Amino acid sequence: MSQAKIGDKVKIHYTGSLKDGKIFDSSEGKEPLGFTIGEKMVIPGFENAVIGMTAGETKKVSLSPGDAYGDHQKNLVVVVERSQLPSNIDPKVGMILHAQTNDGRNSDVTITDITDESVTLDANHPIAGQELIFDLELVEIA
């Protein structure tokens, strides 16, 4: 049986969970996730875990933040005055807004705190800084 390697197109069934067991994503009940190994279409640790697997093989891997969505970066958290938000937005904690950075790039930010005067926006990935656990099943190598 051939093993998955860089350049192979693969299809994977997966369930991703946090250390506390909370599932944050899964392909259960859906088509398997398809990607080409080496094209950085998925987080590094996920891609590296697939290398060497054979079709039909299952595996459980634990990824450090560095192999997943990175460490939580305090410089990606900003507090803005509520008046800086568009008037049509009723901010709620957990709400994701689309913002433009100072250099013109688009970024998603999550509202993490609200006061009468200000709103805290976090541009980190929602699960940055956390260890992730994936149950993987390599369905197909093409």
Assign 102 a pLDDT band (cuts: 50, 70, 90).
confident
The number of folded domains in the chain is 2
CATH number at residue 118: 2.40.10.330
pLDDT in tens, 77-95: 999 999 988 889 899 999 9
CATH number at residue 39: 3.10.50.40
The pLDDT of residue 26 is: 97
Residue 74 parent element (H or E): none
Average the pLDDT over 16-37 and give the result.
96
Query: Does residue 16 sit in the same domain as residue 66?
Result: yes
Stated pTM of the model = 0.82
Asked if residue 25 belongs to a domain, the reply is yes
Asked if residue 3 belongs to a domain, the reply is no
Residue with tokens 């609200």: 114
Distances (CA, A) of 95 to 66, 74, 91, 121: 26, 19, 7, 10
The pLDDT of residue 96 is: 93
Find the domain containing 63 and state its range: 9-70+128-141
Query: Does residue 47 sit in the same domain as residue 87?
Result: no
